[in-house]
Structure 1
Amino acid sequence: MTARNKSGTEDENVKIAIFLNLIGDDGFAANKSSIRDISDRFNMSLSTFHSVEMRVISFFIDILPKIINFPRTDYVIIIALVYPYNILSGFPNILDSVDGSYIEIRTPSHKLKSTYTNRHDIPCVTLQGICNAKKKFIDVFTGPPGKIHDSRIFKLSFISSEIATLTNNGHYHLIGDSAYPIREWLLTPFKDYGNVTEQQKNYNKKLSRARVKIENSFVLLKGRFRQLQRVDFHKVLKSSQFILACCVLHNVCIEFNDNCEEIAIEDNNATNINNVVDRENELKRLGELKRQYVCQIINNN
């Protein structure tokens, strides 16, 4: 196969083919031997390969808002998100599941390794995903170091400033694990200190069953695109763009039923801080009330 058409420019189909070869390869993204093999397949120089690679990644980043997006109207929310999740899990008014997954990277240029290492001493970034009942991502965010806690990454993500509105001020809710703060719009498990009730255990069981979707989404993503086992670019920005491009393709695959086998990550300042703490405590209290309400609904049905 040639990488150029009759006019001497790279054919668009070839560009996509090159990128798909890259992300599906068992080697590492940006690994020199892997890149050399792929560039040879398409009869192109390494410099041309890198140019094509970045143009294709930029294309997927440009279309990301069209492929990965959060429904904005009540009708679409109910039909596309809430109803399917309720049927599958028996957990009322779920919009989606949220979770984070480590994506291993090389230590970025001019950065200390410790800045990006997680608790397993692996340099990585966290990919935060929110998925629907079909395992499609409706929101993704990546770039923060893996050492940052999931709850902090959620606060850093763009969706955090909109989620209260998107969930109709808590009428609907996301679900997450115990790494996330309890809120009206984000329900988490009851923590088990040895005193959880049978009702609370039942609630936790159904929440856990519903959360499997986001865990499966990450497994499918990394199974489809083996390069995500370790992304080997020198800069975090490029690594993040590569990861997001894979998320776009993941959704496209699901949309067209391209399934794959799942594979087994000072005083003024003090005053401001106190105000934030008070607000956080109030949000937590409201979230706990909401969780107890949902727990009662589950156990009365």
Structure 2
Amino acid sequence: MVKIKSNGKELETGDELLELVGPRTEVKTISLERRTLACVWYLSNQETFRSIVDRFGLSKGSLHYFLRKFCNIITSNEILQQLIRWPSSDSEFQNISENFTQRAGFPNVIGALDGTYIPILGPTAFRESYICRKGFPALHLQAVCDTDLKFLDVFCAYPGSVHDSRVFKNSPLYTELQNNPVPRQYHLLGDSAYGNSETVLVPFRDNGHLNADEKRYNNAHSSTRVDIERSFGLLKGKFRRLRYVEMKRVEDIPSLVVTCCGLHNFIIQRERYTDEDIDMDAADGDGPPGTCSVARDTGAVDKSGHEKRLQVMHSLQ
């Protein structure tokens, strides 16, 4: 069995990963095993590029080439759709919902939605557009997860200065939800960075005057939505390269980030994880877990979303 290490821990799924990427990799003098090990090691550690090429006996050019090819394979439609898949049947929605309900009684949740920053070196041109609200250059990763901390959808394309709500409304997921709405009783949970709607329920804004029902709703909401923060913590705990991606070609970084998300699911589907694997300090990339920016006030209120939130609030009594 081939042993592949992620964050210093051996993955029992090494052979399966080689079987996944092998048929899509051209024959080279350097073995498939060594190439794959080098790529996974790069993604799993913050070790310098020079140190990694020395460790695996590669040239810098070779590792750059193999890493790009590896990411292209994992993010290809054929592979990525096997690893990260949006639920499509009512039975899938119901199963996910039941698992979420067990957490704090919050009904009909089919995913926890959030964004996190991926710190990067940043480009020279248009650098200010990459500076996130925490003051460093970053890319925005949006994701939805289930209770197993498995990603149901990921999207990495926008620089760090773009607000979460705008990223969501310009994401393929938003388009999918508009064109193929989920059954009306189901919804995602998002934090206050998103606008409240029938599709995404957010907390009541705490202005210091919340009543007991609203506080109960917010507590159940937070206790349920925390899984997306734990997913980011597990992702960055296993793939430590995402804590700071020192790549000069910014256009190559989204593929690397999504590759890590795909491997995250690949591992979860095959191996157990423990709380020790979850690094909550690195979960958000933008502050302590649970902090967020407030959605920009457009002056418009989604009435159906407001009514749905009240219905859920009353059901929690």
Superposed CA deviations along residues 213-244 of structure 1, whole A, max 9, x for unmatched, are 00000011111111111111122221111110
Structure 1: distance between partners of 2:49 and 2:208? 53
1:18 is aligned to 38
Superposed CA deviations along residues 41-87 of structure 1, whole A, max 9, x for unmatched, are 222222111111111111111111211111111112212x1111111
Q: CA deviation at 1:112?
A: 2.3
SS in 1 for 2:75: helix
Structure 2: distance between partners of 1:165 and 1:45? 47
Of 159-168 and 113-122, deviating more is 159-168
1:69 is aligned to 85
1:287 is aligned to 305
- 8 Å CA contact 1:72, 1:166 repeated in 2: no
Q: Equivalent residues in 2 for 1:64-213 (5 A)?
A: 64-79=80-95, 81-109=96-124, 111-164=125-178, 168-213=182-227
Structure 2 counterpart of 1:195, one-letter code: H
Q: CA deviation at 1:108?
A: 2.0
Structure 2 counterpart of 1:54, one-letter code: R
Give structure 2 stretches of 5+ with no counterpart.
1-26, 285-297
Q: CA deviation at 1:107?
A: 1.4
Q: Equivalent residues in 2 for 1:28-47 (5 A)?
A: 34-47=48-61
- Residues 57 and 72 of structure 1, relative CA distance in 2, 3 Å threshold: same
Structure 1 counterpart of 2:246, one-letter code: D
TM-score (norm 1): 0.85
Structure 1: distance between partners of 2:165 and 2:184? 18
SS in 2 for 1:174: strand
Of 38-47 and 203-212, deviating more is 38-47
Structure 1 counterpart of 2:122, one-letter code: T
Structure 2 counterpart of 1:127, one-letter code: L
Structure 2: distance between partners of 1:237 and 1:82? 36
1:228 is aligned to 242
Identify the structure with the greater helix proportion. 1
Q: CA deviation at 1:169?
A: 4.6
Structure 1: distance between partners of 2:214 and 2:35? 52
1:271 is aligned to none
Structure 2: distance between partners of 1:280 and 1:121? 28
Structure 2 counterpart of 1:19, one-letter code: C
Matched, 1:296 2:311: no
Structure 1 counterpart of 2:195, one-letter code: P
- 8 Å CA contact 2:103, 2:223 repeated in 1: no
1:272 is aligned to none
Larger radius of gyration: 1
Structure 1: distance between partners of 2:209 and 2:232? 33
Structure 2: distance between partners of 1:78 and 1:294? 17
- 8 Å CA contact 2:113, 2:144 repeated in 1: yes
- Residues 75 and 207 of structure 1, relative CA distance in 2, 3 Å threshold: same
SS in 1 for 2:316: helix
- 8 Å CA contact 1:113, 1:123 repeated in 2: yes
Superposed CA deviations along residues 140-173 of structure 1, whole A, max 9, x for unmatched, are 0012111111100101110001225655353200
Cα RMSD for the two superposed structures: 1.8
Superposed CA deviations along residues 178-198 of structure 1, whole A, max 9, x for unmatched, are 110111111001112232210
SS in 2 for 1:162: helix
Structure 1: distance between partners of 2:177 and 2:299? 15
- 8 Å CA contact 2:108, 2:187 repeated in 1: yes
- 8 Å CA contact 1:173, 1:185 repeated in 2: yes
Structure 2: distance between partners of 1:130 and 1:67? 14
**Match among 1, 4, 9 for residue 29 of structure 2:** 9
2:295 is aligned to none
Q: CA deviation at 1:208?
A: 0.4
Superposed CA deviations along residues 224-266 of structure 1, whole A, max 9, x for unmatched, are 111111111122221111110000111111111242522222x
